[in-house]
Structure formats: structure tokens, C-alpha cells
Structure 1
């Protein structure tokens, strides 16, 4: 039987946070297959190379897909999101919202993506209250300044992020 509900959840995931995993878990309950698209986006100055970001996301999402009965795949992509979504057979783009300030940007992006491909819908999932304030940018900044990020990222990502920050600091 073909997968009817296929979605894409895009991001740079540098690093993957508990907020990302929260949205992935919620999306997995709605879809038959979820493709987590790790954007190349070198303009954001990632601390992890693309291959490592893909590997970390893969390691962190494995148990989520099994628990939700959703096939979760992780794939790198570059270029237009709707083109990537189409290449994956996805009809849904999942976007997480943390605060009202996210909505303006995301609403505009959803409108542009709809204009580019009216067959792909954007679905917004709000972050749970325990994850609303988490962003990869803040996690990196806190880690670089020696703060405790253990409540913002899963254990493997914590270990790798701290190691990367130590390497970059030398």
C-alpha cells in the first residue's frame, strides 16, 4: 500500500534540539512517512559539517519513528524547499512555531511555497511549553559561553556539541 501522508520537516539542525525532536514526534503521529530535510545553508555558519548534522539527526529520531509507527528518513538538501518536498513525494511541509515572532516569517514562507507549488501544504505545529524558547542559535551561544545546555538537547547531541565547542575554542 502506498504511503499517503508524506511530509518534510526542514531545518539546519545545528545542533538538533529537544524542540526539533518535539516537532518531529508530533509530526510523526500525523504522517505515514516523514523526511527530515537537513539544509546545507552554509550562510548560517554551522558548527557541524552537513554529514555530521545528518548523522546526529538520524541517531536522535530513530526511536521516535518506531514509537509513532511512522517511517522517518533523514536527507540533506539544497535549493528550494518545495522542489525537495516534491522530490520526496511529500504533499506537506511541517514547520515548528515557538513564538508569535516566528509566525510572521513562517506565514510569508508558506505563502511563497504555496505560490511555487499549490499542491504542497504547510502545516504549523506549535512547540510544547517546555520547548518554546529553545533555538539552535541560543544553544550554541550558551555552550560557547560555558553554560549548561543539557536540558535543551538530547544526550548524544550534548556530547558532540560540547566536544565541537571545545575544539573550536582551542
Structure 2
């Protein structure tokens, strides 16, 4: 091992979890802000066997890696199971979540308290940039499916991939 950790310097780590099907500018904003606060930001792409995504896990990972490459401290990988187990396996003490509205807070607070109770992992809530306060991957996919312009809501590479995928249908 080389780098700061091999020299006994503990890196500050956090995780930004989600399904990212696809990653939006709202997601990217939260990841960018976390990357300024932490030495390493892990983007954990959730595998949900019961849901059929528009993009495969591998495609999502590739798109996220492409649009976060400029940050230089983002690692992207898939996970299934409990997020706290992902955190324990990688020595990650913090989860960073974006909050769009009060309705998000109710659910996310429960999750944060459960995660902390299970493992001691802390959750940090970051208010979403108001520009993206309405934005979700599901809404983007629905609008794009019906021909609406979502180009301003997605990184360019993701928009291209979305249009290509929808064109296959």
C-alpha cells in the first residue's frame, strides 16, 4: 500500500448511496460537495434485485465514474445488503445524503437513526441546491420517455446514454 494511509494518516471517508438510475445533476451536486469535505467519497450503487432498472449496474457505475472523474477523490462501486455493512468493510464513518424537502427528512431521519444504532455510522444531511429540489431519477425518466427535454437535469454523457436507451425501446 502506498499513499497517506500507508504512512499512518487516516483518510476522512464518506459514502453517497443510491440507485442512480440514472445519476442526475442533483446527485452530482451532492457528490461534488461531499468531495470537498472528505478525502475519499465512495459512491455506492445499490443493487435491488426486485427492481428492473433502465441501466444495468455496470452501466450506472461507468456513467458515474465518467461524470465524477474531475473530482479526483470519488470511488464508485456496487453494493447489496445493508449500507452499514458496506461502511464497516471500508472503514467509512459517515453517510452523506441530500435532502430535497421536509418529506425526505422524515424517511431519512429514520434511516439515519437505524444506521447509527446498528453500527455507529453517522449520517450528514446536505440540503439540495434549490435548482434541483424537485429532481429525481424516476421523474427524469418519465419526462424523457414522453419526449420532454431533460438535458439541463443530467450531465451531458448521462443525457446521451438516456436518449440512446430510450431510443432502443
Question: Counterpart of 1:52?
Answer: 59
Note the alpha carbon deviations across 1:100-146, whole angstroms, 9 max, x for none. 1100110000011011102x110011111111111001000001111
Whole-angstrom distance in 2 between the partners of 1:164 and 1:93: 31
Question: Counterpart of 2:48?
Answer: 41
> Are 2:29 and 1:22 aligned?
yes
Question: Counterpart of 1:117?
Answer: 119
TM superposition score normalised by structure 2: 0.93
Using the TM superposition, name which of 38-47 and 81-90 deviates more: 38-47
> Are 2:164 and 1:157 aligned?
no
Whole-angstrom distance in 2 between the partners of 1:44 and 1:108: 23
Question: Counterpart of 1:12?
Answer: 19
Q: How does 1:125-164 map to 2 (within 5 A)?
A: 125-164=126-165
Whole-angstrom distance in 2 between the partners of 1:15 and 1:87: 26
Q: Secondary structure at the match of 1:15?
A: coil
Which 4+ residue blocks in structure 1 deviate beyond 3 angstroms?
A: none
Report the count of equivalent residues: 162
Contiguous gaps of at least 5 residues in structure 1: none
> What value does the CA root-mean-square deviation take over the aligned residues?
1.0
Note the alpha carbon deviations across 1:62-86, whole angstroms, 9 max, x for none. 11x23xxxx2100111100000011
Deviation for aligned residue 1:164: 0.8
Contiguous gaps of at least 5 residues in structure 2: none
